[in-house]
Amino acid sequence: MRLGVRAFVPQRVAGIGLAALVLAGCGTGVGSESSADASAGAAVARAVEKTEDVTSLSYRVTGQFPERGRIADEATVRTTQPVGARLRTANLSGDQRGESELRLVDGVLYGSATGDMVEEMGGRHWISYGPNAEFTTHGGLRMDVGGLRDQVSRNPAREAAFLAAAEHVKRIGSEKVDGADSTHYAGTANVDELRASLDEVNDKTAREGRRNSLDQYEKLGVDELTLDVWVGGDDRIKRLRTQGFGRHGTLDLTFTFLDHDKAVTVRAPRADDTADLRKPLKKKGS
């Protein structure tokens, strides 16, 4: 049985990539920038570093994503080995209206099947993409799900590194986030300038992560980002808003961090309700 690509990579799941971008490393304004701008950039940089250095986190994402429309997603990630993660996505408008889920368990990526996909999968509600980013399906189709694997396991706090690296970063003032005190910082970042700065990133993993993130922005036609970051009294990021506009419409995402450093358990779907794309599709129950 040869299955279409739609069955392998649900569009509403694939579209969440930019909503969970990772950008490692950060910097501050240079030259004649005011001490206020420099201290604001440094404060965001500290928050990025501290929020990255957690054993687990949970967050929600709301807003507008190009080609997906209005969204409301939630994620839980265990960053320590073995990494475990769950990303639930909900499209609230457009042709892709509906819900789906990704799970990463013991290195294996799973995705939910919905609608006609369930019938194509022999009545199963889950798809196993296996432990590798690239593989060949039993039907001979070459697959690359590296982007999906990255999406489900990312810590979006690193997105704030864009603001820390921006030329102008301002402290807006004290505000409440879900009833907690926080400090609001804001600024803009030019995508071309961020790409030009990649040569200054010594860490290869961080450099490649930045490049992949910028590639996704450029595919959307976004060339400038407006960023707002709210930092709590514990020097961790409480909320992040990313805005931009490109060929495919408006990008306006708000990430709210709900918890961190708590025990996280993510379970694999039942084997009898999961279709492994690398193996022949057997009749359910056989």
* Count: domains in the chain: 1
Band (pLDDT 50/70/90 cuts) for residue 68 is: confident
Predicted confidence at residue 168, as pLDDT, reads: 86
Examine the pLDDT at 82 and tell me if it is beyond 80. yes
Instruction: Give the residue-averaged pLDDT of 4-16.
Output: 40
The better pLDDT of the pair 210, 151 is held by: 151
Indicate the residue type of 232: G
The better pLDDT of the pair 121, 38 is held by: 121
Predicted confidence at residue 162, as pLDDT, reads: 82
Predicted confidence at residue 5, as pLDDT, reads: 34
Q: Over the stretch 246-268, which tens digit does the pLDDT of each residue have?
A: 888 999 999 999 999 999 999 99
Q: Over the stretch 232-249, which tens digit does the pLDDT of each residue have?
A: 999 999 999 999 998 889
Band (pLDDT 50/70/90 cuts) for residue 119 is: confident
In a domain, 284, yes or no: no
Q: What is the CATH number of the domain that holds 24?
A: 2.50.20.20
Instruction: Give the residue-averaged pLDDT of 187-207.
Output: 77
In a domain, 286, yes or no: no
CB neighbours of residue 136 within 10 Å: 11
In a domain, 39, yes or no: yes
% of the chain exceeding 90 in pLDDT? 50
Range of the domain at 128: 5-276
- The answer for residues whose C-beta is within 8 angstroms of residue 230's C-beta and 6 or more apart is 175, 177, 182, 183, 184, 185, 237, 238, 239, 240
- The answer for residues whose C-beta is within 8 angstroms of residue 71's C-beta and 6 or more apart is 16, 19, 61, 62, 63, 64, 65, 89, 90, 91, 92, 253
Question: Which one of 24-33, 58-67, 274-283 scores highest in mean pLDDT?
Answer: 58-67
Neighbouring-strand partners of residue 86? 76, 103
Nearest-angstrom CA–CA distance, 84 and 139: 29
Examine the pLDDT at 21 and tell me if it is beyond 50. no
Predicted confidence at residue 140, as pLDDT, reads: 87
Q: Over the stretch 42-55, which tens digit does the pLDDT of each residue have?
A: 999 899 889 988 99
In a domain, 116, yes or no: yes
In a domain, 281, yes or no: no
In a domain, 133, yes or no: yes
Band (pLDDT 50/70/90 cuts) for residue 206 is: low
